[in-house]
Amino acid sequence: MLTYQSIAELIEAAEKEGEKLSRLVLRDQAEQMELSEEELYKRMEESFDVMCEAVRKGQDKNQRSTSGLTGGEGYKMKRYSEETDGGLSGSFMTRAMSRALAVSGCNASMGRIVATPTAGSCGIMPGCLVSLYEDRGFSKKEIVMSMFTAAAFGMVIAHRACIAGAQGGCQAECGSASGMVAASMVELSGGTPKQCADACAIAIGNQLGLVCDPVAGLVEIPCIKRNVSGIMIAFSAADMALSGIASEIPVDECIDSMGEVGRSLPASLRETALGGLASTPTGIRLKEQVFGKQEAGN
């Protein structure tokens, strides 16, 4: 059985057996969880269905967050993509942005989402994978299987570092999500297990040190827009790895570094809403708009 203590272990096992990472992980997890592979696959397929539904809900013109601070971003980007023939980034990428915004908006409005690996980063994997499914013609089975690779990488990240903003900053949430889905997209595109690892390493390295500073303590500002940045990094990391560009720093060392950086961040930059954008004059004003003025010392 796999221990999920390192991605190097996963790569070695996949190369030894001549298997895709996803096949290896599905078989191993079915054994560890004492479930059939068919049942475990069905559970993952249901998660993907929830992602697709969250995209649709979040692209509603009237979608608004419970706080009233955000809403409609997914719809606005979808409309922009259609009206400008893809804007500056092209139709595929602006539609992917719309989906990432939509799922994050769905989360902010108390809709049903899949934490991948957290609610704060919930738009990144759907933004990428739903786009490949709907716009690039990948089959549903291919997409769902790739999610097992992403999940395995996420398990290693959680073991070696962290996935919670309160523990390691936004690098632990959006950084992890970008790395996970970059790996899955490389596999989808025919890349090797080693290239999956390189994509994850590049994505994590490009978000190292990203702080968690939610305005008013809510997963909205700047979290929703950071999900868009996350998909852009994931796609670019996957393309670099597929082109043959490797990460000079092995992925497990990148993950360890992320954990070290997270532990070094002050508490004010780890989801407490006491620093970063949350402590700007506008950030404080928005907090008062939602919760009212706080008494001194509170």
- Residues in CB range of 295: below 8 A, 6 or more apart: none
Q: Does the residue 296 lie in any domain?
A: no
Position 209 in a domain: yes
Report the length, in residues, of the chain.
298
Q: Is the dihedral of CA 189, 193, 195, 196 positive or negative?
A: positive
Quick check: is 130 in a domain?
yes
The 10s digit of each residue's pLDDT in 153-202 is: 999 999 999 999 999 999 999 999 999 999 999 999 999 999 999 999 99
Domain range for 158: 7-291
| DSSP 3-state of 222 | coil
Q: Is residue 297 assigned to a domain?
A: no
10 pLDDT higher than 80: yes
Domain count, the chain: 1
Would residue 183 count as lying in a domain? yes
Q: What is the pTM of this model?
A: 0.96
Residue 49 forms part of a structural domain: yes
Q: What is the pLDDT of residues 125-141, one digit of tens each?
A: 999 999 999 999 999 99
Q: Is the peptide bond before 117 cis (omega within 30 degrees of 0)?
A: yes
> Has residue 298 been placed in a domain?
no
Instruction: Report residue 209 as tokens.
Output: 């040190």
Mean pLDDT of the chain: 97
